Structure 1
Amino acid sequence: MQLAGKYVLHAAPPKVWAALMNPDTLAHIVPGISRLEKTGDHTFNSILDIKLGPVSGSFTGNLQLDDLQEPNAFTLKAQQNSKIGNANAAVKINLSPIGDSDTEIAFDGDVKISGMLASLGQRVMGGVSNTLTKQFFSNLEKELAKTSAS
C-alpha cells in the first residue's frame, strides 16, 4: 500500500525537525502509541493500540529514524506485529521551508501488510491510513503550538 502526501505546518523546519526527533514528542503525536522506549540513537521499541475498522489490535515492534539529513529529510522505518497481522513500512519524509515560519512535509513510502490486516482490503486500509495520517499531523500541530506558547 502506497502512503504519500503533503502537509503544511506553521513552524520553521528546524523546530519541526526537533519535534520529530524528540522521543517524548513522538510518543504524544503517533496515533495509538501506548509506549515508546528508546533502544539506540534513533531506534525505539513501540506498542501501538489501533482500531482498524471492525478489527482492533495491539501492535509491538520497532521504529527507526534513518538517513537523517538535518533539518531536511529522513526515512521512518517501522515493523509492527500483532495477532491480527503485521505491518512493515519505509516512508521518506522531506521538510521544505515555506517563507520564514512554515514547513511543508512531504512523505512517500510503502507499507506492506499481512495476515487479517491484508484481508481488510485496500479501501478499508487506505481509509484507516488517511485517518491516522490526519491524526498524526493534527497532534504534531498541537505539540508545535504548545512549544511556541512556552
Structure 2
Amino acid sequence: MDLAGSHILNTTPEVVWAMLMDTDILARIVPGITTLEKTAENEYKAVAQVKMGPVNGSFSGGLTMQDIREGEGYTLNVQQNSKIGNANATVTIDLKPVENNQTELTFDGEAKLSGLLARTGNRVMSGVANSLTKQFFENFEEEIEGKGGKG
C-alpha cells in the first residue's frame, strides 16, 4: 500500500523539526498512540490503539529513524504487530520551507500489511490511512497553535 502526500504547516521548518523530534509531542499528535518511549538513539517503542471501521486493534512495535538530515527530514521505519495483523512501513519525510514562514511536509513510502489487515483490502486500508493522515495533520496544526509556533 502506497503512502504519500504533503501538507503545509503554519510554522518554520525549524519548529516542525523540533516537534518531530519530541516524543511527548509525537505521542499527542500521532492518532491512536497510547505510549511512545525512546529505547535507544533514534529508536522508539510505540503502542497504538486504532479503531476505524473494520480496523480495530492494539498495535505494538518499534519505530526507527534513519538517514537523518537535520532540519530537512528522515526515513522512518515502522514495525507494528497486533492480533489483527502486522504492518511494516518505510516512509521518507521531507521538510521544505515555503513563503510566509510555512513548511511543506511531504511523505512518501510504502506499507506492507499481513493478516486480517491485508485481507481487509487495499481500498479500505487506504481509506483508514488517509483518515489517520488527515487526523495527524489536524493534531499537528493544533499543537503548533497551542505552542504559538508561528516561527
Smaller-chain TM-score range? over 0.9
Q: Give the corresponding residue for 1:12.
A: 12
Q: Percent identity?
A: 52
C-alpha distance in 2, partners of 1:52/1:111?
18
Aligned residues: 149
**TM superposition score normalised by structure 2:** 0.95
Superimposed CA distance per residue, residues 118-146 of structure 1 (whole angstroms, 9 cap, x where no aligned partner): 01101100000000000111111111111
Q: Does 1:36 align with 2:11?
A: no
Q: Does 1:106 align with 2:111?
A: no
Gaps of 5+ in 2: none
Segment of structure 1 superposing worse, 130-139 or 47-56? 47-56
C-alpha distance in 2, partners of 1:137/1:38?
22
Superimposed CA distance per residue, residues 46-97 of structure 1 (whole angstroms, 9 cap, x where no aligned partner): 1100014223100010111211101111111110000000000010011000
Superimposed CA distance per residue, residues 25-64 of structure 1 (whole angstroms, 9 cap, x where no aligned partner): 1100110000111101211111100014223100010111
Over aligned residue pairs, what C-alpha RMSD do you find?
Answer: 1.0
**TM superposition score normalised by structure 1:** 0.96
Q: Give the corresponding residue for 2:134.
A: 134
Segment of structure 1 superposing worse, 60-69 or 84-93? 60-69
C-alpha distance in 1, partners of 2:46/2:137?
19
Q: Give the corresponding residue for 1:54.
A: 54
Gaps of 5+ in 1: none
Q: Give the corresponding residue for 2:125.
A: 125
Q: Give the corresponding residue for 1:65.
A: 65
